[in-house]
Amino acid sequence: MVKDNKARIEKIYVTLLAVLVAIQPILELVWFNDGTVGEVGGFTIPTLIRFGLIGVAGILSFFVIRFNRKYLWLVLYLAVVAVYAVLHHIFCIDFQSLVPGNFNYNMISEMFYLVRMLVPIAMIYFVYNSSMSRKVFDGLVIGISLFSSGLVVITNLTKTSIGSYSNRTILGNLIDWFVNKGVFTFNDLASKGFFYTSIFSVVLVLLFPYILYLFIRDRKKRYFFLAVIQALALYMFGTKATTFSVIIELVVMFAVYLVCTLMKKDQKFLKSQAIPFLVLILAAVIVYPYTPAISRSNYDAEYQKELDEDYDEEEENRALEEADDLEKYYDENYMYFSISQDFMLRSYPYKYDLEFWDQLLKDLGPSQRMQNRIVEQRMLERVKEINDDPMDDLFGMGYTRTSNIYNLERDFLYQYYSLGIVGVVIFLGPYVGILLITMILMLVKFKKRGNIENCSLVLGVGLSLFLAYYSGNVMDNLGITIIMGMVLGMLLRINFRKEVED
C-alpha cells in the first residue's frame, strides 16, 4: 500500500514537472506579459503559475526523493545561497553614486530576484532525481518545438505575426524575402509570432539539435519536417544569433553523425538520413543571404559607415571644449550624439555626470555609440567606479539597481555587475559546470558516452549559453531557463543514473 502511494505520488510529481515545462511557451505569449492579462497582487500570471508549480514540486520532492548523502550537498548549497544573500544585501545597502536615490535599490525585489534565479536550479535537481523517462522528455521537446516554431512560421506566412524589432504586425513574409527583396526593411520582415520577446528563440536553438537527433535515432520523416519548420522559424526571428545558429547546429550535428556512424560504428550509416541532412544544410546556406538578419546586418553596416564618414571628431571636440555651459550644450545637442536618448535621460542622466558622458563622446565614434552594449557596460562600470568598493566585484551592485540603469545585453557579464563573481558562481555556475562535466565524461568514456544523444544536448545547451553571453536577457528569463533546467537535469540523468527508462 505504501509502495503504491509512493508510485502514485511520483507519477504526479513527473506529470507536474512535465506540465511546468510544457506551458512555458504559452506563458511567454505577448498577452500574458504586456498588461493585457492583469496582475494579481503585483505579480504577473506567468510568475504566479511558475512559482506555484515549482513550489508544489518542491513539496512533493520530499516524498519522492530518498534522503541520502546527496541531500547534504543540497543543504550546503542552500546554506551558501543564504549567506550570500545576507552579504549581498549588506553591501548593496552601503552604496554611493552621483545619481539621487542610488538607482532605487529594493531589498524585497532583490531577494525575489535571487529566488527567481534558483527556480531553474531547482528544476535541474527535480528532474535529475525524478523518474522522467525518455518518452516524456522526447514528448516535451517535440511539443515545445512544434508549438513554438509552428506559431512563428504560420503567423509569418499569414502576415499576422508581431515584428521582432518593431512590435507591430509585419508587412512581408517568407515569400517576400525572395520575391520583393529590397522592398521591405528588416523591421517589416523579422517576426516572432505572438511571443513577447524574440529572445525566446533561444529555446528553439536549445532544442534544435535534439530534434535532429530524433530524426537520426528513429528514422522518421516527421522529425525531419519538424527540423525544417524549426530552421525556418529561427530564420524568421531575424536575430543574427539565431540565424547563425541554424547553420552551426546543422553542420555540427551532421559531423557528429558521420563520426558516430563511420568511425565509432554506433549505428549504421544510411543514405536515407545523410542525403536529407545535406539537403537541409544546402537549403539553409541558400536561404541564409535572404534572411531578415542579413538584411539588418547590411543596413547597420551601411548606416554606421555613413555616420563615421560624416563625423567630424575635431569639430565635436572643439564644440565641447568651447562650450561655456556644458550642461546647456548637452541640453541642446544630446539628441545628435548617436546615443540612445533613454541612456542619457533615464538610465544614467547626463546632468549628474557630465564628465562621464564627455569622456565617452571623446572615446567613441558614432558607430560605436550606436552599439548599445558598449554604452550599457560603460554606464555600469562608471557606477561601480564611483562607489569604489572592492566588494562590488565579489557581491555585485544589486539587480534592482543595475536593472534601473539598464539590463546589459550580455549575460554572465551583466550578472557580474548585479550579483558579483560569487553570485555568478552560485547561480550560473551549475549551468556551465554540468556542461563541462558532461563534456569531460564524453571525452574520457568516448566509446560509451560520446554518442549522438549527448552531443545533441551538449550542443544545444552550449550554444544557448553562448547566445546568452552574445545577446543577453536569457539567463533572467524563466521561460527559457526552466526548459534549459529540464534539459540539463535529463542530461545528468542519462549520464549519471542507471534507471533512466526509454
Tens digits of residue pLDDT in 437-462: 999 999 999 988 999 999 999 999 99
Following DSSP, what letter does each residue of 74-94 receive, concatenated?
Answer: HHHHHHHHHHHHHHHHHHHHS
Residues in the chain: 502
Q: In the prediction, which pLDDT does 313 show?
A: 66
If we measure between CA atoms, which residue out of 262, 255, 259, 295 comes closest to residue 278? 255
Give pLDDT, residue 305.
78
Considering only residues 36 and 281, tell me which one the structure prediction assigns the higher pLDDT. 281
Contact 215, 229 (CB under 8 A): no
Q: Given pLDDT bands bounded at 50, 70 and 90, which one contains residue 502?
A: low
329-387 pLDDT, tens digit per residue, is 899 888 988 899 999 999 999 999 999 999 999 898 888 898 899 999 999 999 999 99
pLDDT at 287: 96
Sign of CA dihedral 170, 175, 178, 181: negative
Element housing 107 (H / E): helix 107-128
| 31: number of Cβ within 10 Å | 11
Q: Is pLDDT of 167 > 90?
A: no
Cβ-count burial of 16 within 10 angstroms (0-12 exposed, 13-18 middle, 19+ buried)?
Answer: middle
Task: Work out the pLDDT band at 1, boundaries 50, 70, 90.
Answer: low
Residue environment code for 294-327, b if the CB has 16+ CB neighbours within 10 A, otherwise e: bbbeeeeeeebeebeeeeeeeebeeebeeeeeee
pLDDT tens digit string along 57-85?
999 988 888 776 767 888 899 999 999 99
Residue 163 β-bridge partners: 191
DSSP state of 42: T
CA–CA distances in Å: residue 17 to residues 130, 148, 214, 349, 483? 9, 19, 22, 45, 10
Condensed to tens digits (0 to 9), the pLDDT of residues 181-225 reads 888 999 999 999 999 999 999 999 999 999 999 999 999 999 999
Which residue pairs from 430-437 have beta carbons closer than 8 angstroms and sit at least 24 positions apart in sequence?
Answer: 430/121, 430/124, 430/488, 431/461, 431/465, 431/475, 431/484, 431/488, 432/465, 434/124, 434/488, 434/491, 434/492, 435/461, 435/462, 435/465, 435/488
The pLDDT of residue 39 is: 84
| Predicted pLDDT at 499 | 62
Which pLDDT value is given to residue 304?
Answer: 77
Q: What is the pLDDT of residue 3?
A: 65
Band (153; pLDDT cuts 50, 70, 90):
very high
226-240, 289-303, 420-434: which has the minimum mean pLDDT?
289-303
**Among the listed ranges 267-276, 324-333, 398-407, 480-489, which one has the minimum average pLDDT value?**
324-333
| CA distance between the termini of the chain | 27
d(CA 161, CA 157): 9
Q: For the chain, what percent of residues have pLDDT higher than 90?
A: 75
pLDDT, position 74: 85
Q: Which three cell numbers stand for residue 157?
A: 506566412
Tell me the mean pLDDT in the region 225-251. 96
- Average pLDDT value for the chain: 92
Beta carbons of 210 and 186 less than 8 angstroms apart: no
| Residue-wise pLDDT tens digits, 105-117 | 999 999 999 999 9
Arithmetic mean of pLDDT, 114-123: 96
pLDDT at 2: 56
Burial class (CB in 10 A: 0-12, 13-18, 19+), 328: exposed
Between CA 255 and CA 277 the distance in angstroms is 10
Q: Using alpha carbons, list the distances in angstroms from residue 259 to 83, 254, 255, 267, 439.
A: 47, 9, 6, 10, 16
Which pLDDT score is estimated for 174? Answer: 96
- 417 pLDDT higher than 90: yes
Which residues, including other chains, have CB under 8 Å from residue 150's CB and lie 6 or more apart?
229, 233
The region of weakest confidence among 4-8, 137-141, 434-438 is 4-8
Q: What percent of the chain has pLDDT over 70?
A: 96
CB 409 within 8 Å of CB 473: yes
Higher pLDDT, 281 or 366: 281
C-beta separation of 174 from 232 below 8 A: yes
List of long-range contacts for 2-8, beta carbons under 8 Å, 24+ apart: 6/63, 6/64
Q: How much is the average pLDDT of 257-275? A: 91
pLDDT at 38: 80
How confident is the model over 25-49, as a mean pLDDT? 91
| Residues β-bridged to residue 314 | none
DSSP state of 412: T
